[in-house]
């Protein structure tokens, strides 16, 4: 694609790639809610866009394809990798106290549905409990699984948790999490990829472009 030096990289151009078509098709699975991250990025006609608008819309489209690649890599990795990834991501987002080992993996046989724990303070009085489900893109997380997670939180005497999946949540699952007295945050595959890109977890900066404008004060008369 880079060798072709396309004038514009948009949805129409990317549609020649089978991976991009599959990425868009998975957004049409029944019951899958359209989050802000999953919504199709509107692209104005080329002549109607300013240079900075064109640049920003192109970056969003590239990040959408990058997000798909991240999810593919996660699904191809060993199961334990996903749990470690989620703990690392939450720590990168600022969760966890200043002490060492504030985030740890506990997922194993008999773990009670808890895969990881983030300690917000040195004594572990304030904790965030994590459950990570590495599902195929088309396999939804349903309400019974969120209900079971809430039961695990209750057994741990916790009042907040994060449920992360590589797939998506059904609407009943989201509704249950919203009305439950515990604070349960749901992170689907699309949001997961967005957070990884935003926090530079599993990605690196390949090139930096600077958008420059005229410095008006420089040309003012003294």
Q: Are residues 46 and 29 in the same domain?
A: yes
Contacts 24+ apart (CB under 8 A), 207-212: 209/55, 211/52, 211/55
The two three-digit tokens of residue 72, written as one number: 């593919």
Q: Are residues 83 and 72 in the same domain?
A: no
Q: Are residues 193 and 99 in the same domain?
A: yes
Closest CA to 146 of 105, 106, 187: 187
Q: pTM, whole model, 2 decimals?
A: 0.72
pLDDT at 26: 61
> Rounded CA gap, 111 and 140, in Å?
22
CB 89 within 8 A of CB 121: no
CB 113 within 8 A of CB 131: yes
> pLDDT tens for residues 160-200?
999 999 999 999 999 999 999 989 999 999 999 999 999 99
List, in order, residues 6 or more apart from 18 with CB less than 8 Å away.
none
Q: Are residues 72 and 86 in the same domain?
A: no
Q: Looking at mean pLDDT, say which of 32-36, 37-41, 56-60 comes out highest.
A: 56-60
The two three-digit tokens of residue 17, written as one number: 């790639």
Q: Are residues 125 and 172 in the same domain?
A: yes
Pairing of strands 140-141, 127-133: unpaired
Give the chain's mean pLDDT.
Answer: 84
Q: Are residues 122 and 88 in the same domain?
A: yes
Q: Which of 11-15, 33-37, 48-52, 59-63 has the lowest mean pLDDT?
A: 33-37
Q: Is the pLDDT of residue 35 over 50?
A: no
The whole-number average pLDDT for the span 204-216 is 87
Name the DSSP class of 93: T
CATH number at residue 86: 3.40.1350.10
Closest CA to 164 of 100, 118, 101: 118
* Structural domain span for residue 55: 11-76
Model confidence at 147, pLDDT cuts 50, 70, 90, reads very high
Q: Are residues 36 and 146 in the same domain?
A: no
Closest CA to 32 of 168, 164, 187, 174: 168
Q: Which of 9-23, 37-51, 56-70, 71-85 has the lowest mean pLDDT?
A: 37-51
In percent, how much of the chain has pLDDT > 70?
A: 83
Q: Is the dihedral of CA 93, 99, 100, 105 positive or negative?
A: negative
Q: Is the pLDDT of residue 33 over 50?
A: no
């Amino acid at each position: 694609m880079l060798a072709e030096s396309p004038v514009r990289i948009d949805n129409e151009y990317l549609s020649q790639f089978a991976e991009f078509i599959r990425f868009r098709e998975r957004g049409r699975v029944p019951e899958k809610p359209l989050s802000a991250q999953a919504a199709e990025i509107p692209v104005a006609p080329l002549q109607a866009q300013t240079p900075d608008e064109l640049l920003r819309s192109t970056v969003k489209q590239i990040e959408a394809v990058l997000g798909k690649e991240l999810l593919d890599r996660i699904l191809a990795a060993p199961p334990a990798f996903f749990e470690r990834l989620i703990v690392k991501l939450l720590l990168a987002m600022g969760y966890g106290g200043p002490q060492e080992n504030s985030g740890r993996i506990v997922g194993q046989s008999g773990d009670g549905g808890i895969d990881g724990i983030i300690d917000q303070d040195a004594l572990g009085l304030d904790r965030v409990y994590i459950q990570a489900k590495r599902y195929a893109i088309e396999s939804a997380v349903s309400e019974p699984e969120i209900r079971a997670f809430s039961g695990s939180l209750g057994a741990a005497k916790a009042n907040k948790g994060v449920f992360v999946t590589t797939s998506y949540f059904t609407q009943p699952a989201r509704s249950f999490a919203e009305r439950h007295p515990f604070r349960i945050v749901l992170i689907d595959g699309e949001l997961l990829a967005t957070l990884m890109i935003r926090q530079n977890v599993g990605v690196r900066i390949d090139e930096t472009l600077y958008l420059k404008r005229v410095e008006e004060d420089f040309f003012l008369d003294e």
